Amino acid sequence: MLSTIYALLCIIVPCSLYQLIICKRQNKKQENKAIHFVWVYIFLLYIYLTFSVAGIGSIWDIGHYDTIIRLEEINLLPFQSEGGIMTYVLNIIMFLPLGFLIPLIWKRYRNPLKIFMIGFGFSLSIELCQLFNRRNTDIDDLMMNTLGGQLLDILFGN
């Protein structure tokens, strides 16, 4: 419980300070800023929960194992996962909020290519982090997460 609170504070405090600085520099209406900040904190909570669910571990996890990267835990062949179709569906669902929240919060990211790159980059960072903490690194996860980030745009357009 204490580690969860600490992790959340490590995210929220720097972002709050950043937002205070931005507020001082910009002269937007107070109402718009408040709504924007609420969505930003929802997005931060989503990022935290995604990292928690994905089990990316921490820098201290690297030294706990005999080898840093284990080739047997890396799957680079598409659609060869052992988890079945439910794994694909859950990975898509996990990234749906990313494709919704980013364009909602920041207008400059209302572009399918930018959302694709953000979804791909975020998923790739998770998969690379999983290399170091006894989690499987899977190309299927990368593909399905990226698709999840794009799915709302594919279905409904901009």
- Residue 29 has what pLDDT? 56
Spatial distance between the Cα atoms of 134 and 29, rounded to a whole number of angstroms: 48
Q: How many CB atoms lie within 10 A of CB 23?
A: 14
- pLDDT higher for 13 or 8? 13
- Residue 96 has what pLDDT? 95
- Residue 51 has what pLDDT? 86
What's the whole-number mean pLDDT along residues 98-123?
93
Spatial distance between the Cα atoms of 150 and 157, rounded to a whole number of angstroms: 10
- pLDDT higher for 91 or 32? 91
Position 80 pLDDT exceeds 60: yes
Amino acid at 97: P
Judged by DSSP in three states, 74 sits in strand
Amino acid at 135: R
Which residue in this structure is represented by tokens 């400059």?
108
In the chain, % of residues over pLDDT 90: 37
Spatial distance between the Cα atoms of 66 and 24, rounded to a whole number of angstroms: 50
Contact 94, 105 (CB under 8 A): no
- Average pLDDT taken over every residue of the chain: 83
What's the whole-number mean pLDDT along residues 76-92?
88
Position 124 pLDDT exceeds 90: yes
- DSSP-derived letter for residue 139 is H
